[in-house]
């Protein structure tokens, strides 16, 4: 993404808040048909998001439970029985002309396989974050999509959320002066037995699922890759819930420009989901920052007559962020453009995540 792309997206995102109809397809362009792979919580949200759009449509389902879950969602979204696939029959999706893209809403460790199989079937891939459980897997996925000439987008959200884009525009326009530091975090609870607590399915601890939010946001805002890391992990809950992944992790990053950051996340804490951006002339605080409903932006920006406090509530209810995502990828497919969060973005986050776990002394790959 270059600066012009960024400015265009920002303008579109801002316009979108005022003109909900901007996403409408011109009459001669049918919506992009998505197959939802995996029918868990996140796919449910994505399917509802597509139902709110005229540019994206759920046209097929891939599930291990075709008779119940499959039937239920097929009924909801008008999908014919012939477009309900199992993981075994998935590769036949190649012949389904109603499907142009897939949405991979599976546990982390399955992203690689289904991205590869979708690419081989000639379908574009919108894959949930984290892209995969190692940078090596990410590279394989990028290569597979490249070889198959299909597009690959990682389902990050802040790149597409209007208030995030407004905050990033403010930063770019110098509202807080020269960037100095970030503090970010995402602390949430996972019950014992959740797949995210399984090293095999999750691929690692909460950095892959939660810490990736401030990490990706900071990388997106700085347009730099972090060069130096420190990290500390801890597990106070000895019930066995955290036998395979850490309960808590806090880390620091330093970027080539000298920008520094400290972040944390956890599957065993209750805490905020936030990002604070400090400049030498002001600061911005997204709090909440990473939930499905709209974020809130506060802080102090510099003005001609001194610092000014701001407090701006975002606008949008779940699944609005997924609708923007689905439409962005649909637009990329229709217009043959690269998505704003391509596979390379997912790869760079995984490289940083691997560095974080290495710095903590608990390498994941």
Binding site residues, a copy of itself, CB under 8 A: 176-178, 180-181, 183, 185, 187, 189, 228, 230-237, 247-254, 257-264, 266, 268-272, 276, 278-283, 285, 300, 302, 307, 359
Which residue, 332 or 352, is less far from a copy of itself as judged by CB? 352
End-to-end CA distance of the chain: 28
Sign, CA torsion 149/151/154/158:
positive
User: How many Cα atoms occupy the beta-carbon half-sphere of 132 within 13 Å?
Assistant: 24
Candidates 267, 287, 265; CA nearest to 275 is 287
The active-site residue out of 213, 267, 283, 357 is 213
Q: Provide, rounded to whole angstroms, the least separation between the CB of residue 1 and a copy of itself.
A: 24
Q: Name the phi and psi angles at 202, rounded to 5.
A: -85, -30
- State the minimum distance, in angstroms, from the CB of residue 284 to a copy of itself: 10
Distance CA 184, CA 173 (A): 22
> Of 66 and 307, which CB lies nearer to a copy of itself in the complex structure?
307
Nearer to a copy of itself, 72 or 254 (CB): 254
Neighbours of 272 (CB within 10 A): 12
- Please report how many Cα atoms fall inside a 13 Å half-sphere around the Cα of residue 44, on the Cβ side: 5
Least distance (Å) between residue 161 CB and a copy of itself: 22
Write the CB contacts of 182 (distance below 8 Å, at least 6 apart in sequence).
Answer: 214, 218, 221, 259, 260, 261, 262, 263, 275, 276, 277, 278
Look-up of token digits 């939010």: 213
Verify whether residue 114 is a known catalytic residue. no
Q: How far is the CB of 233 from a copy of itself (least distance, A)?
A: 8
Query: Least CB distance from residue 41 to a copy of itself, whole Å?
Result: 19
Q: Which is nearer to a copy of itself, 139 or 254 (CB)?
A: 254
| Residue of 57, 69, 129, 151 marked catalytic | 129
Q: Is 18 a catalytic residue?
A: no
| Closer by beta carbon to a copy of itself, 249 or else 340 | 249
- What residues are annotated to the active site? 129, 213
């Amino acid at each position: 993404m270059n600066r012009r792309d960024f400015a265009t997206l920002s303008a579109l995102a801002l316009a979108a808040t005022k003109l909900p109809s901007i996403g409408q397809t011109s009459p001669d362009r049918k919506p992009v048909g998505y197959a939802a792979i995996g029918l868990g919580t996140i796919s449910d949200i994505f399917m509802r998001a597509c139902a709110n759009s005229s540019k994206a449509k759920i046209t097929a389902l891939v599930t291990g439970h075709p008779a119940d879950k499959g039937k239920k969602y097929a009924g909801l979204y008008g999908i014919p029985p012939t477009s309900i696939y199992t993981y075994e029959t998935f590769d036949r999706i190649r012949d389904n002309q109603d499907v142009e893209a897939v949405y991979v809403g599976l546990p982390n460790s399955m992203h690689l396989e289904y991205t590869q199989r979708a690419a081989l079937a000639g379908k574009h891939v919108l894959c949930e974050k984290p892209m995969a459980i190692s940078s090596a897997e990410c590279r394989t996925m990028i290569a597979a999509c490249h070889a198959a000439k299909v597009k690959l987008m990682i389902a990050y959200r802040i790149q597409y959320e209007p208030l995030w884009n407004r905050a990033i525009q403010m930063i770019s326009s110098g509202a807080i002066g020269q960037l100095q530091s970030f503090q970010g975090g995402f602390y949430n609870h996972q019950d014992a037995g959740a797949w995210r607590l399984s090293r095999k399915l999750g691929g690692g601890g909460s950095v892959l699922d939660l810490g990736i939010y401030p990490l990706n946001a900071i990388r997106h805002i700085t347009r730099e890759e972090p060069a130096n890391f420190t990290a500390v992990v801890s597990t106070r809950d000895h019930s066995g819930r955290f036998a395979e992944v850490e309960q808590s992790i806090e880390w620091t990053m330093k970027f080539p420009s000298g920008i520094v950051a400290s972040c944390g996340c956890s599957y065993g804490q209750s805490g905020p989901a936030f990002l604070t951006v400090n400049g030498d002339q002001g600061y911005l605080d997204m709090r909440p920052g990473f939930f499905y409903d709209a974020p809130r932006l506060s802080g102090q920006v510099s003005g001609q007559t001194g610092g000014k406090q701001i407090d701006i509530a975002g606008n949008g209810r779940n699944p609005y962020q997924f609708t923007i995502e689905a439409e962005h990828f649909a637009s990329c497919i229709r217009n043959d453009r690269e998505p704003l969060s391509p596979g390379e973005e997912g790869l760079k986050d995984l490289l940083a995540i691997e560095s974080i776990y290495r710095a903590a002394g608990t390498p994941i790959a």
